Structure formats: C-alpha cells, structure tokens
Amino acid sequence: MDVFKVILLFVFFVLFTILIIPPIYAIEPLDRAPAASLRLVNVSDNQVIEHLNVNQRVLVTADITNNQEDPQKFVFIVQIKNDENVIISLGWITGTLNPNQSLSTARSWTPDQPGTYLAEIFVWESLENQDALSESLSISIITS
C-alpha cells in the first residue's frame, strides 16, 4: 500500500511539473515573431534610401521571423506620423509565417509635403487580437 502511494505521488509530481510549470525554453511573447531591420526602400530600384522627395513612393520594410515550431498568423501595421505627431497614414498586411520562416514585409507610402515624419511598425497576432509578437520599431523620414 505504501508503494502505491509513493508511485501515485510521483506520477502527480511529474504531471504537475509538465502541465503547470512553464518550460524554461518557452518563447517570450515579444520573441514569437520579432521584427528587425526597419528600412526605407526605393520602389523603382529596391535600394535602401535615407532621404525622400515629395511624391516619391517608398516601401517601409522590415524583416519578420517566426521563432516558433508552429505557424504564426500576424498583422504587420505601418503608421506614419507628421512632425505634429498626427497619424497621416495607417495600413497593414496580414499573413501567416511557417515555423522558423523569415519574411521581408513592406507597405508603400508617398509623402505629399516636405517635412519630417516618423514611420512606426507593429507586429500583432491579428487586428482583433492585438497581442504583440514583437517590439515596435520606428524610423525617421526626412522629405524635401
């Protein structure tokens, strides 16, 4: 009878450890699909640029990597703010990353006035479920 209790206690401990205590190798929420290398890319020749002209279309581009062993749905959001911190452009792309897949994702934008702008990107699970999959990134844009 005592052996049965020891075995039962052992099984309970093992199940508790597996089901309740999170594994040490679990991916942090903001590391599930991190964005990196935020840049501005010229639409006509795919070159990275630092300065824009008015009416010059540019791609606000970042690389997203799924660090998980399961597919990950995502929404890539780009917002552009003017020098008064007002959002003047907002757009997004949805998709699914396969396990360990990297993807270069972009949204186009065309400035219609000279000035200094801020492009910010966000990677969320979806528009309905705004769980962040990555830290947000930003880049300054100067237009003349």
Burial tier of 74 (Cβ tally within 10 Å: 0-12, 13-18, 19+) = buried
pLDDT 10s digits, 109-141: 999 999 999 999 999 999 999 999 999 999 999
Q: State both tokens at 18.
A: 């597996």
Question: Beta strands of the chain (E only): which ranges?
Answer: 35-42, 48-49, 51-52, 58-65, 72-81, 87-97, 102-109, 115-124, 137-143
CATH numbers and ranges of domains, the chain? 29-143 (2.70.50.60)
Residue 21 has pLDDT above 60, yes or no: no
Give this prediction's pTM: 0.79
